[in-house]
């Protein structure tokens, strides 16, 4: 089985319900991707830090129930996970409110066990993280992480970077642009979107945005239901299938796309097939409330019917 390390933060989630009430769950971009990867048959481990509280215990149990590995989750005494609240409008668009400045996950690159966690990345087939992940750590922490990614790549791992951008996490956009440049240069696969990149590079065309990413395998998700792939310098458009139900919640659309794309590549699909799988899963996810859809709603036949392992 292929192994994927997903690095990031999972938070307590308060989601808008009926009558002004909120339901409690948990979520985070890379955690959502890890869950969908596990459901699609990839051996996904989640790498983060949590507290020693009951909410953190609940998260660990929930991830394990989904088949997500938790061996590299650091538990910090006296710390708590972050908290976020989602309000969703009648078009399925969401607004986030965060309380996370002292969350345990922000300490992941500065712990006594950090070297061991980072050295273990070399044992994975793919290492997946997002721009939100990178926004959690300070400059020194990001330097440690990028150095570990380079060592892992030298050992045969592939680094997949998702451009998931939240302005709140990047108070200095010049710092954000510099970190993005470093991630673009280091990544074997870049999963980008115009929604993420235009706040950093306002007014640029799709071609100009793609020109900022030097990698050989780049996916740019567009504002319409389609994506543009650049593979070894050539461009390939991929359109999503029409939705079979109304959009109710766009949470985790990009996270699920990333999971299906990476899982398909690991199972031997070419990038165009992988992008189609990503669009298909995302198209189902947005028709359900919340980031993680019921298992019964997972679309059948999403990945190629082959067990051949391929490097992305």
Would you give per-residue pLDDT tens digits along the chain (312 residues)? 789 999 999 999 887 777 778 888 898 999 999 999 999 999 999 999 999 999 999 999 999 999 999 999 999 999 999 998 877 677 666 677 889 889 999 999 999 999 999 999 999 999 999 999 999 999 999 999 999 999 999 999 999 999 999 999 999 999 999 999 999 999 999 999 999 999 999 999 999 999 999 999 999 999 999 999 999 999 999 999 999 899 988 889 999 999 999 999 999 999 999 999 999 999 999 999 888 999 999 999 998 775 444 334
For domain 3-8+27-48+112-297, give its CATH number from 3.30.1360.120, 3.40.1190.20, 3.40.50.300, 3.30.260.10. Answer: 3.40.1190.20
Distance of CA 211 to the CA centre of its chain: 22
Residue at token pair 């300070």: 138
Q: Is residue 63 a contact partner of residue 36, using CB atoms and an 8 Å limit?
A: no
Please report the pLDDT score of residue 92 as a whole number.
60
Residue 23 has a pLDDT of 86
pTM of the model: 0.94
Pairing of strands 158-162, 126-130: parallel
**217 phi, psi to nearest 5 deg:** -130, 100
Query: What number of CA atoms fall less than 13 Å from residue 178's CA on the CB side?
Result: 8
Q: Give the residue ranges of DSSP H helices in the chain.
A: 29-39, 54-65, 114-119, 131-135, 139-154, 173-186, 194-197, 206-211, 253-266, 271-285
H helices, E strands: number in the chain = 10, 13
Residue 306 pLDDT: 55
Pick from 283, 276, 277, 275: nearest CA to 190: 275
Question: Where do we find the tokens 């050539």?
Answer: 234
Do residues 9 and 109 touch, judged by C-beta distance below 8 A? no
DSSP 8-state code for residue 299: P
3-7, strands of its sheet edge to edge: 73-76, 43-51, 3-7, 126-130, 158-162, 189-193, 217-221, 226-231, 234-239
Query: In the structure encoding, which two tokens stand for residue 296, read together?
Result: 């019964």
Question: First and final CA of the chain: distance in angstroms?
Answer: 14
Q: What amino acid positions are annotated as catalytic residues? A: 255
User: Is residue 295 helix, strand or coil?
Assistant: helix
Let me know: does 41 contact 308? Beta carbons within 8 Å: no
Instruction: Give the integer Cα–Cα distance in Å for 116 and 109.
Output: 11
- What's the token pair of residue 13? 């989630």
Question: Which residue, chain included where needed, has tokens 């088949």?
Answer: 67
């Amino acid at each position: 089985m292929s192994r994927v390390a997903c690095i990031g933060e999972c938070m307590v989630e308060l989601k808008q319900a009926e009558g002004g009430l909120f339901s409690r769950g948990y979520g985070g971009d890379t955690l959502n991707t890890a869950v969908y990867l596990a459901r699609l048959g990839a051996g996904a481990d989640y790498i983060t830090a949590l507290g020693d509280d009951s909410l953190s215990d609940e998260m660990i149990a929930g991830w394990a129930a989904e088949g997500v590995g938790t061996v590299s989750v650091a538990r910090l005494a006296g710390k708590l996970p972050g908290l976020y609240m989602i309000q969703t409008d009648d078009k399925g668009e969401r607004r986030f409110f965060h309380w996370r400045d002292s969350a345990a996950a922000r300490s992941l690159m500065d712990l006594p066990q950090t070297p061991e966690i980072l050295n273990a990345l070399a044992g994975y087939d793919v290492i997946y993280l997002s721009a939100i992940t990178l926004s959690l750590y300070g400059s020194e922490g990001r330097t440690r992480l990028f150095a570990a990614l380079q060592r892992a790549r030298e050992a045969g791992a592939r680094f997949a970077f998702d451009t998931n951008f939240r302005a709140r996490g990047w108070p200095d956009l010049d710092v954000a642009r510099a970190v993005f440049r470093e991630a673009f240069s280091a990544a074997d696969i870049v999963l980008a979107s115009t929604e993420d990149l235009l706040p950093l590079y306002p007014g640029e065309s799709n071609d100009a945005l793609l020109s900022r990413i030097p990698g050989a395998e780049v996916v740019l998700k567009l504002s319409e239901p389609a994506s543009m792939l650049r593979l070894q310098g050539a461009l390939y458009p991929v359109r999503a299938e029409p939705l079979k139900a109304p959009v109710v919640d766009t949470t985790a659309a990009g996270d699920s796309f990333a999971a299906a794309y990476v899982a398909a590549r690991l199972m031997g699909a070419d990038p165009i097939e992988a992008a189609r799988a990503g669009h298909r899963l995302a198209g189902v996810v947005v028709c359900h409330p919340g980031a993680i859809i019921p298992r019964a709603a997972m679309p059948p036949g999403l990945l190629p019917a082959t067990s051949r392992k391929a490097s992305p």
